[in-house]
Chain A
Amino acid sequence: MSLLSLIALPLLAVFLTPFYRNRLPIVSLLLSLALATVLGILAVRIPIVEYVSFASPLGIVFFLDAASLFFAGVFIGIMLWTALYTLQHKSDPACFVVRTVFFAGALGLVLSGDLFNLYIFFEIASISAYLLTALRQDQKGYAGAIKYMIIGSVASIFLLLAAMLIYLNIGYLTLPAIAERFATLPRDTQYLILLLLFVGFGIKTEIFPFNLWVADIYQAAPTRVDGLFSAVLSKAYLFLFFRLLYALRPEPDVYMFLMLTGLASFAVAEFSALTGRDLKRIFAYSTLGQIGVAFLALASHDPVVVSGALFLIGTHAIAKMLLFFALAIVEKGTGSVRVEAFGRFRSPFLTGLFTLGFLSVLGIPPLAGFIAKWTVFKGLAAAGHLWIVFAVLLISLIEATYFFRLLSLRARSEKSVPLTIPPGHKVLLGSLGLGLILLGLFPGTALELCTRAAEAFLAGVPHV
């Protein structure tokens, strides 16, 4: 079983869309089950390094180690959950094609091991993200997609320039070959390349000061698509940036700089969320904040903190899928995503789910988010960064302010709009909520997986 099948299968399914255009929900489910099976078969023999066409350093490299397995697992899990969720919807070819290419792009980003392939999957994921933003085909959607394309083009120009400079100076594009030779470059060239990568990936991972556009995109895109952006897209780029960074082994002050950027990102995002009146924008800012914390933790370059960051990425993906998909139901019922509409709907089930999601993002025990943040804080304190722990806790208070304001709004206002939720969707949303509780109560196995992934992640790229 080849690693390529994880990328080729979804693309093949997309090409064959005309043959089963009326049965797409079931095809989508079968596809994600097939991908989960393939990943399961491959998982037993990690790390896998695979060359396509020539041997390294000339050919194209794909690899799967514990870290990329973790991310691929999260993405395929989300793909499977989304397929189950859309099982009751009617067959929609456009949505199927764009969503499947989106997942193929994200998997490609995680698996590929040379800069040029990364650039191609980067563009595939970006193009499908632009299309997902405009999926509703209304004026807001197109405005958002155009904004996204402008900022995305800037990112891709920076990354292309970085890849070119690396090739001009090193003469290779495969990550293992680059990792071996990067330290021999002159210091100013190293810093120039790192700066270009930081700007390019900073835009894509949605890190301050490159993230001022993100709330607009989330507002323009359909609400359920926001869940995918939040849980898959930003996480794939986060993985990619740190995979490159750990492979290139820059000097320690670079890590310190990145930690401060993550902290600034968290602070700015939470302050922006405080004044928000549009729930999609508030959730978008909350996502940016959590990405900031994950960025900070990954940049600490400490095994315990990185394992906590991976756990945070996984649990945040679950929580944000829950919040955005639940918000989509509220939007459908009340016709609005304004804060005022949040008080009006009547559904104890959704209220409970929103509460679970908020508390997990905040990191309140006994939910999964708590375990993640606790691991990160424990590692940071042990590594001597106690002040960062205090700063993060202080900023979390702001996050708590707006989440509790939303919950108190629920408690105070008159609930007049009844919501109808299909039983299948109830079960699926409930399973996410249950997942957050179970991961919080019994984090043992998951945390161990994260620890192993963190070790592989920090070790850099597999050697040839």
Chain B
Amino acid sequence: MLETLDQTPFIHAVVTTGSFVIFAIGLVGVLSKKNLFKIFLSFSLMESALFLFFIGSHYARGKQAPIATDAFTLFDDRMVDPVPQAMILTTIVIGIAVLALALSFVVRYHRLSGHIRIDRMDELGDAS
């Protein structure tokens, strides 16, 4: 019975469900939180959920990581698809850069305004 838990379709199901739960947590955070810091962290959570989903759905039981070594000199059927891995690796780097930039904006904004609440950001508008 326990063997089914070790099969590829089951692992895919777990990864898909899990990543959608994480995505939902991030979405709720983005929509309900007023603290800018928490909003950007929620975006980061949503992105991580997408990464998990994409990498997880290309995982296959018994296949190797797509790294060329002495035993594996060619990309073939014994390896998992290398494209998602390369893609997600790059996307993680971009995500960190964007998050760092966002947080630095929040820090600078806090220095000038004294708060980081999105519902009190009323500098912009036709009245001012």
Q: Are B123 and A150 in contact (CB under 8 A)?
A: no
Is chain B's binding surface mostly helix, strand, loop or mixed? helix
Chain B stretch 103-125: residues in CB contact (< 8 A) with chain A:
105-106, 108-109, 112-113, 121, 123-125
Q: A281: CB under 8 A from chain B?
A: yes
Give the distance to chain B from A46, nearest Cβ to Cβ, in Å.
Answer: 29
Contact of B43 among A116, A157, A161, A220 (CB under 8 A): A157
A139 with B123, Cβ < 8 A, contacts A127-B97, A145-B105 known: yes
Chain B stretch 51-100: residues in CB contact (< 8 A) with chain A:
53-54, 57, 83-84, 87, 90-91, 94, 97-98
**Once bound together, how far apart are the Cα atoms of A160 and B47, in whole Å?**
9
**Once bound together, how far apart are the Cα atoms of A154 and B108, in whole Å?**
22
Count how many chain A residues have C-beta atoms less than 8 Å from C-beta atoms of the other chain. Answer: 39
Q: Are B105 and A142 in contact (CB under 8 A)?
A: yes
Chain A residues within an 8 Å CB radius of B3: none
Chain A residues within an 8 Å CB radius of B83: 167, 173
Chain B residues within an 8 Å CB radius of A277: 126-127
Q: Are A164 and B54 in contact (CB under 8 A)?
A: yes
Chain B residues within an 8 Å CB radius of A130: 101, 105
**Once bound together, how far apart are the Cα atoms of A131 and B108, in whole Å?**
13
A127 with B98, Cβ < 8 A, contacts A120-B90, A147-B121, A164-B50 known: yes
Q: B21: CB under 8 A from chain A?
A: no
Q: Are B105 and A149 in contact (CB under 8 A)?
A: yes
Q: Are A139 and B113 in contact (CB under 8 A)?
A: yes
A-B contact count (CB 8 A): 89
Give the distance to chain A from B48, nearest Cβ to Cβ, in Å.
Answer: 11
Q: B36: CB under 8 A from chain A?
A: yes
**Once bound together, how far apart are the Cα atoms of A156 and B99, in whole Å?**
13
Q: What residue in chain B is nearest A216 (Cβ atoms)? A: B124
Q: A143: CB under 8 A from chain B?
A: yes
Chain A stretch 132-155: residues in CB contact (< 8 A) with chain B:
134, 137-140, 142-147, 149-150, 153-154
Per-residue CB contact flags for chain B residues 36-47 toward chain A (1 = under 8 Å, else 0) read 100110010011
Q: What residue in chain B is nearest A277 (Cβ atoms)? A: B126
Q: Are A134 and B105 in contact (CB under 8 A)?
A: yes
**Once bound together, how far apart are the Cα atoms of A149 and B90, in whole Å?**
19
Contact of A281 among B36, B109, B126 (CB under 8 A): B126
Q: What residue in chain B is nearest A150 (Cβ atoms)? A: B39
Q: Are A143 and B123 in contact (CB under 8 A)?
A: yes
Q: What residue in chain A is nearest B124 (Cβ atoms)? A: A216
Q: A168: CB under 8 A from chain B?
A: yes
**Once bound together, how far apart are the Cα atoms of A130 and B100, in whole Å?**
13
Q: What residue in chain B is nearest A123 (Cβ atoms)? A: B94
Contact of A139 among B46, B53, B109 (CB under 8 A): B109
Q: Are A157 and B105 in contact (CB under 8 A)?
A: no
Give the distance to chain B from A22, nearest Cβ to Cβ, in Å.
Answer: 27
Q: Are A146 and B106 in contact (CB under 8 A)?
A: yes
Q: Are B126 and A146 in contact (CB under 8 A)?
A: no
Chain A residues within an 8 Å CB radius of B106: 146
Q: A290: CB under 8 A from chain B?
A: no
Chain B residues within an 8 Å CB radius of A142: 105, 108-109, 112
Chain A residues within an 8 Å CB radius of B47: 157, 160
Chain A residues within an 8 Å CB radius of B108: 134, 137, 142
Give the distance to chain A from B15, nearest Cβ to Cβ, in Å.
Answer: 13
Q: B28: CB under 8 A from chain A?
A: no
Q: A275: CB under 8 A from chain B?
A: yes
Per-residue CB contact flags for chain A residues 44-61 toward chain B (1 = under 8 Å, else 0) read 000000000000000000
Chain B residues within an 8 Å CB radius of A281: 126
Chain B residues within an 8 Å CB radius of A134: 105, 108
Chain A residues within an 8 Å CB radius of B109: 139, 142-143, 146
The 5 lowest CB-CB distance pairs between A and B, nearest first, are A142-B109, A139-B112, A216-B124, A153-B43, A143-B123
Q: Could you list some 10 contacts between A and B, CB below 8 A?
A: A116-B87, A123-B98, A127-B97, A140-B124, A146-B36, A146-B121, A149-B102, A150-B30, A168-B54, A277-B126
Point out residues on A near B: beta carbons under 8 Å.
Answer: 116, 119-120, 123, 126-127, 130-131, 134, 137-140, 142-147, 149-150, 153-154, 156-157, 160-161, 164, 167-168, 173, 216, 219-220, 275-278, 281
Point out residues on B near A: beta carbons under 8 Å.
Answer: 30, 36, 39-40, 43, 46-47, 50, 53-54, 57, 83-84, 87, 90-91, 94, 97-98, 101-102, 105-106, 108-109, 112-113, 121, 123-127
